[in-house]
Amino acid sequence: MNAPASSGSSSSSFHSGWAIVAMALGAFAIGTGEFVIMGLLPEVAQNIGVTIPQAGHVISAYAMGVVFGAPVLAVAAATWERRTLLMALMLVFALGNFASAAAPGYVSLNLLRFVAGMPHGTYFGVAALVAASLAPPGQRARAVGLVMTGLTVATLAGVPLATWLGQHFGWRSAFVLVGAIALLAAVMVRQALPVLPAPPGASPIRELGALRNKQVWLTLGIGAIGFGGLFSVFSYVKPTMLEVAGMPLNGIPIVLALFGVGMVAGNVLGSRLADRALMPTAGGMLVWAIAVLVAYTFTARHPVAGAINVLLIGTIVAIGPALQIRLMDVAGDAQVLAAALHHSAFNVANALGAWLGGLAISAGLGWTSTGWVGAALSAGGLAIFFWAVVDAKGRHAMATAPGPVRVSGGH
């Protein structure tokens, strides 16, 4: 995407800063809406008359809305002016959350969470591209990380607040709050961003070109599998802390806030590391994920140790900026679709982690079994990471070899 770059003047820097703040508020709304349900599963289950693992399907429904909506909307809106697109996506997200608050039962709630999830991936993808285009040289990951700070701060402040609201005034009130924040974000995007036309030659066909690139698919696979471990644990963190660790109910918002602290720290550190060493950061974070998820199977039996471990699990998001920038590097001209698919991949991880964690619990393996499930998913992501590294080296060797050999479709 060829959005206008920052000129370096004080007025330009001020404008760029407010643009990132506005996009980060949208990320805050999305993050609150995505994660708050995980702290309210028992309340949702009781209200709509299902089990807690069945209520977890609502998490998967939202995630699948992201998976479906990101490529469809990214391709359909390839030629849209970027500010208008970001506003429209925020408005759809707001309406989806207001409607979720009014859902009468299990089926309707799942359908409406699917709809609410559809704008998620495209919003983050376009916002990341805009932020990267405004960044000084060598600081793209940091700019993307600043937008993503809205998502991580949501887990620190938005989710605990919405969870408290849902516990005291009913889970539906949490989605009303999310919808209101999204409306405010749409207004701020309108005020803070300049008109940003799509790059010359943008078209749905050009965006679909990303799907021919093996490195794009491998990078998406790292996120889709390797990031699932976080969700296998966090989707069921509330009942685990209550049933296994014996934590009182009023301690749950503290645990959720600690998870948010971990996400904020991971996002800041991960974006800085990614600007210095992109792929080593991604691989190192997968190894870290395996370690902290295995540890959770033991620490979850103790309130303090379990809460600290949840904080460490939150830091796994440090892999996000690295994978986002990697997709920008390998996607060529198909920037919007590739960036949006990054969030589809993470929500495949969301759905997969929640589903597999629920299967383990329903099979009688216990609440702490989600840690083993998560470690296995992170190990799978690490295997795909090594595949991507080997494939990239092979392509580079073929492209630089003497003679008439040519390699096309890869980066």
DSSP characters over 340-370: HHHHHHHHHHHHHHHHHHHHHHHTTS-TTHH
Length of the chain: 411
Residue 330 predicted with pLDDT over 50? yes
Range ranked top by mean pLDDT from 48-62, 168-182, 186-200, 255-269: 168-182
What is the pLDDT confidence band of residue 2, given thresholds at 50, 70 and 90?
very low
Instruction: Assess contact for 353 and 231: CB atoms under 8 A.
Output: yes
d(Cα 314, Cα 241) in Å, to the nearest integer?
Answer: 16
Question: What percentage of residues in the chain have a pLDDT greater than 70?
Answer: 90
**Single-letter amino acid, residue 281:** T
pLDDT in tens, 368-383: 999 999 999 999 999 9
Query: Residues 61-67: what's their mean pLDDT?
Result: 85
What's the count of helices (H) and strands (E) in the chain, helices before strands? 19, 0
- In this structure, of 321-330, 332-341, 399-408, the range with the lowest mean pLDDT score is 399-408
What is the pLDDT confidence band of residue 324, given thresholds at 50, 70 and 90?
confident
- Domains of the chain and CATH, by start: 10-398 (1.20.1250.20)
